[in-house]
Chain A
Amino acid sequence: MSVLELVDVTAGYGEGADILHNVSLKLDPGEIVSIVGPNGAGKSTAMKAIFGLLVMHGGKITMGSHDITGMPPEEVVGKGVGFVPQTDNVFPNLSVEENLEMGAFTYDGPLEGRLKNVYELFPPLLEKRNQAAGTLSGGQRQMVAMGRALMLEPQVLMLDEPTAGLSPKYAQEIFELVIQVNASGTPVLMVEQNARQALAISHRGYVLVDGQNRHEGSGPELIADREVAEMFLGG
Chain B
Amino acid sequence: MGDLLLFINFYLIPGIVLGSIYALGAIGVSMVFGILRFAHFAHGDMMTLGAFIAFSAIGWLGVGPILALPFAMIGTIVVTLGIDRVFYKPLREKSTIIVVIASFGVALMLRSLIMVVWGVNTETYSSGISMPLVFLDSFRIAERHIWMMAITIAAMLGIHWTLSKTRIGKAMRAVSDSPELSRLAGISTEKVVQATWIIGAGLAAIGGVFIAWDSQIHANAGWDLILPIFAAAILGGIGKAYGAMAGGMVIGIAEEVSSYPWLGDGPLLSPGYKTGIAFAIMVIMLIWRPSGLFRGRVY
Contacts and interface: CB of A to CB of B under 8 A. Distances in A.
A and B pair up:
yes
Interface of A: 51, 53, 72-74, 77-78, 83, 85, 88-94, 98, 101-103, 105-106, 148, 152
A105 B173 contact: no
A106 B186 contact: yes
Contacts of B178: 88, 91-92
Given A91-B178, A101-B167, A77 B185 contact: yes
Given A74-B187, A77-B185, A101-B170, 14 more contacts: A51-B184, A73-B184, A77-B184, A85-B181, A88-B180, A91-B173, A91-B182, A92-B177, A94-B177, A98-B170, A103-B185, A105-B167, A105-B185, A105-B187
Across the A-B interface, the 10 shortest Cβ-Cβ residue pairs? A77-B186, A73-B183, A91-B177, A106-B186, A105-B187, A91-B174, A93-B177, A102-B174, A98-B170, A74-B186
Contacts of A90: 181
Contacts of B176: 93
A193 B180 CA distance: 23
A82 B181 CA distance: 12
Given A74-B189, A101-B167, A85 B184 contact: yes
A88 B185 CA distance: 12
Interface in B161-202: 167, 170-171, 173-174, 176-178, 180-189
Contacts, number: 63
Most central of B174, B176, B182 by chain A CB within 10 Å: B174
Contact of A102 (B171, B180, B189): B171
Most central of B167, B174, B183, B184 by chain A CB within 10 Å: B184
Q: How large is the interface on B (under 10, 10 to 19, 20 to 34, 35 or more residues)?
A: 10 to 19
Nearest to B186: A77
A101 B178 CA distance: 15
B177 A105 contact: no
Secondary structure type dominating chain B contacts: helix
B186 A152 contact: yes
Nearest to B190: A74
A93 B186 CA distance: 18
Contacts of B185: 77, 102-103, 105, 148
A218 to B, nearest CB: 30
21 contacts: A51-B183, A51-B184, A73-B184, A74-B186, A74-B187, A85-B181, A88-B180, A90-B181, A91-B177, A91-B181, A92-B177, A92-B178, A94-B174, A101-B170, A102-B185, A105-B167, A105-B171, A105-B186, A105-B187, A105-B188, A106-B186
Nearest to A79: B186
Contacts of A106: 186, 188
Contacts of B184: 51, 73, 77, 83, 85
Nearest to B177: A91
B170 A102 contact: yes
Nearest to B295: A93
Contacts of B188: 74, 105-106
Nearest to B183: A73
Most central of A83, A91, A152 by chain B CB within 10 Å: A91
Interface in B21-80: none
Nearest to A48: B184
A70 B288 CA distance: 44
Contacts of B189: 74
Nearest to B170: A98
Contacts of B177: 91-94
A92 to B, nearest CB: 6
Nearest to B240: A93
Contacts of A73: 183-184, 186
